[in-house]
Structure formats: C-alpha cells, structure tokens
Amino acid sequence: MAEAQGDKTLTLSEQYHLKGNEEKANVGIKPEEVKEVQNPENAASKEVVADKAEETPAAAAAVASEESSGSTPTAVGEESTEDNTGAAENSTEAAPEESSENTENSGEQEVEEETPEVKLETAPADFRFPTTNQTRHCFTRYVEYHRCVAAKGEGAPECEKFAKYYRSLCPGEWVERWNEQRENGTFPGPL
C-alpha cells in the first residue's frame, strides 16, 4: 500500500509532463481546423470521448494508476503480474478520492486526469478515405506531418497529432523507407 502511494505521487509529476503535451495539442487543433478540411464529426466524437471520461473518472483513474505502477523506474520488467493486480485493486479503492481532489483543484487538473482514458485513441476515420483501401490515408498523414513541420518548424505542437496519425496507420517499414527517401531527397510525395 505504501509502495503504491509512492508510485502515485511519482506518476502525478510525470503526468504533469503529459498534460503539457495534451494542452498544446488541444490548442493546436483550433487553427488547424480552419486550415485543414477536418470534418466536424471528428471534433464531436472527441467531445464524446471526453464526456465518457468524465462519466467514469474512477475507471480512468484506475487505468492511470495501473499505468503509473508500470511506469515506475523500479524494475518494471521484472514486476510480476500479481503485483500489478494488487496495485490495480489499490488504485480502484483510492481512485474516487483522487479524482474528487483533482476536480476541486482546477479545471486543468481534470484534463490531465483524462489523458489515460484518451490513451485508447487512434487516427480517426477520415471522410477522404472511406473505403477499405487506406494506403493513401497513411501516405497523406505522413505528408501532412512533414508539411506541417516544414511550415511551423521542428517540434511544433500542432503537428504532433499528424505524427500520431501516420504512426498509427503506416507500417513501421514504410515509415523507415520514407524517412530514408526524404534524407536522400527522393521522396515521391509533395513535401
């Protein structure tokens, strides 16, 4: 129990880090919506996800603490499954208190609490690629990311979502090959 508590504090600080990313990404979406022809459904569905997360703060927190128990620097690989289940049980007990605290603290905290639930998130369905063939979807997301980086500079937060999308959609082998081609200047796409 004491160990689990220690884990929690550690991971909260780690989650601050995550929160930064998430906020930036959220900010980035707004200007992007105007530029890119994102369908409004995407935004709507995101809200739905957020709502869901709010509905089940306990579950979200449980997942969070489970992750956190895994992410502690102390010998993660060797951690037995028993330990994990134990931690999970502990966290479910402690979860409601934790979440209520957070909601009291600030709105930002709340957003940060949702990040673990958002974890089950991937590139959304894209109306430009409604068919079974998603080859272009992957390629387009890759190109979009690199055009975004070219326009806004390396590490621009609003480009991160494109990176997430293309990593979700493209096989690692393809991305490797394209990266090589970009370095050699032989990439066939419009960069």
Site of interaction with another protein (CB under 8 A):
42, 45, 59, 62-63, 66-67, 70-71, 76-77, 79, 84, 88, 116, 119-125, 130-135, 137-138, 164, 167-173, 175-176, 179
Minimum distance from CB of 76 to another protein (Å)?
A: 5
Minimum distance from CB of 166 to another protein (Å)?
A: 9
Nearer to another protein, 112 or 160 (CB): 160
Minimum distance from CB of 146 to another protein (Å)?
A: 12
> Can you tell me whether residue 123 is helix, strand or coil?
coil
The secondary element (H helix, E strand) that includes residue 162 is: helix 160-169
Nearer to another protein, 131 or 186 (CB): 131
CA-CA distance, 85 to 103, in Å (whole number)? 26
Minimum distance from CB of 97 to another protein (Å)?
A: 19
> What HEC string does 47-105 produce?
HHHHHHHHHCHHHHHHHHHHHHHHHCCCCCCCCCHHHHHHHHHHHHHHHHHHHHHHHHH
Nearer to another protein, 49 or 111 (CB): 49
Identify whether the C-beta of residue 66 lies closer than 8 Å to the C-beta of residue 88: yes
Minimum distance from CB of 104 to another protein (Å)?
A: 26
CA-CA distance, 24 to 111, in Å (whole number)? 12
Nearer to another protein, 71 or 100 (CB): 71
Nearer to another protein, 3 or 67 (CB): 67
Which residue's structure tokens are 């937060």? Answer: 157
